[in-house]
Chain A
Amino acid sequence: MTEQSHLTAGAYLRVGAMLVILTVLEVGVFYVPAFRAVLVPVLLALSAAKFTLVVMFYMHLKADSKFFTFLFGTPLLLAVGVMVALLFLFLGALTLRGAASAG
C-alpha cells in the first residue's frame, strides 16, 4: 500500500464543496422547526458524514496504509465507547432515580 497516493486538486475541491453543502444542511436543519423531532439523529448523521469525508480524503486514510487506519480507529472507537458508557451510566442513573421517585 502506498503512502503517497494522494488526490488531485480537483478532487480536493469536490470534497470541499460537499463539506460546505453538509454544513449548510446542518445549520439549515437547526433552524427549521419541522426537523425538531429528528434534530439529534439528523445532526449526528451529517456530522459523521463530514468527519468521514475529512478523514478519508483530506487525511488520506482511504489510500494510505491500513495500519494508519488501525492506529487512528482503535483509540477513536475506545473514545466513542467511553462516551457512550458514561452517558448510559449518568443518564441511566438519572432515569432510574426518576422512575423510582415516580413509582
Chain B
Amino acid sequence: MTQAVPLATHHTSMGLDNRKMAFWAFIGSECLLFGSLISTYLVYKGKSVVGPYPHDILNIPLTSGSTFDLLMSSLMMVLALAAVERGDMKWGKIWLFSTAVLGLVFLGAQVMEFTEFVHKGLTISTNLFGCTFFVLTGTHGAHVAVGVLWLLTLWVRALQGKLGPANVTTVDITGLYWHFVDVVWIVIFTVVYLIQ
C-alpha cells in the first residue's frame, strides 16, 4: 500500500501555512459573492408583480430537514478531521464518507424542491422572486456539489492509503470549505425561508 506523503508545505513569514492563508482569503472573497447574492434577493423581495410568491411555495419542513442534514455533515467533517489528526484512518474514512453522503442528501432535497417549484410554475424567468431565489440557492447548491466531489476525492485517496495524519492540513482546508458552505446555508435558511 502506498504511504501517505505530506504535501510540500511552505510557511509564510508569519509562520502560518500558506495554503491555509490563501484559503481563508478565498473564503473572504466568497463572503462578498454570497453577500451580493443575498443583498440582491433582499432588495427585490416583495417586488414580484406575478406569483407564485414565497409564502405560496416555500417548503419549511423540507428545508428544516436540509438544514439539520447540513449541520450534521459539518459535525461529521470535524470528527473526520479529529480522527485524521490522531491517526485513526479507519474512522477518518467513515466520517469523510458520511459527510459526502449527507452532502448528497442535501443536494437531493434541493433537486426535489426545485422540481416541485417548476411544477408549481416558478422558474428562474417567472418573476423577481424566482430569479433571485434560483440564482442564490443554485449558487449555494453548486458549492455543495463541489464540496461533495472534493470529499469523495479525499475519501478515495484515504482508501488508497494516500491520505494520513501527514496530510491533516489538506483535510483541515476541506473542512474550512465545507463549514463555509454550511454557514452560508444558515444565513439563507433564515433570510429566505424563515423571514418571509
User: Pick the contact of A55 from B60, B183, B191, B194 — CB < 8 Å?
Assistant: B183
B contact residues around A8 at 8 Å (CB): 82
Q: When the two chains form their complex, are residues A79 and B74 in contact, meaning their CB atoms are under 8 A apart?
A: no
Residue B36 interfacial (CB < 8 Å): yes
Does B20 count as interface, using CB distance less than 8 angstroms? Answer: yes
A101 to B72, CA, bound (A): 51
Give chain A residues whose Cβ lies under 8 Å from the Cβ of B7: none
Q: How many A-B residue pairs lie within 8 Å, measured between CB atoms?
A: 131
Q: What is the size, in residues, of chain B's interface with A at 8 Å between Cβ atoms? A: 49
B39 touches A83 (CB 8 A): yes
Chain A contact surface mostly:
helix
B79 within 8 A of A: yes
Across the interface, do B42 and A65 meet the contact criterion of CB distance under 8 Å?
no
Determine which of A9, A15, A46, A82 lies in contact with B82 in the assembled complex, contact meaning CB atoms within 8 Å: A9
- Flag whether B89 is at the interface (Cβ < 8 A): no
Per-residue interface assignment for chain B, residues 167 to 185, with 1 indicating a CB less than 8 Å from any chain A CB and 0 otherwise:
0100010011001101100
Known: A39-B195, A58-B77, A83-B38. A74 touches B28 (CB 8 A): yes
For A67, the chain B residues whose CB sits under 8 A away are 14, 16, 21
Chain B 97-143 interface residues, beta-carbon cutoff 8 Å to A: none
Min distance, Cβ A33 to any Cβ of chain B, angstroms: 14
Sample 22 A-B pairs with CB under 8 A, ordered by A number.
Answer: A3-B16, A6-B85, A12-B79, A19-B75, A27-B194, A30-B60, A30-B194, A39-B195, A40-B195, A43-B194, A44-B195, A47-B191, A51-B183, A54-B182, A65-B16, A68-B16, A71-B25, A72-B24, A75-B31, A78-B32, A78-B35, A86-B43
Q: Which residues in A have some Cβ–Cβ distance to B below 8 Å? A: 3-4, 6-9, 12-13, 15-16, 19-20, 23, 26-27, 30, 39-40, 43-44, 46-47, 50-51, 54-55, 58-60, 65, 67-68, 71-72, 74-76, 78-80, 82-83, 86-87, 90
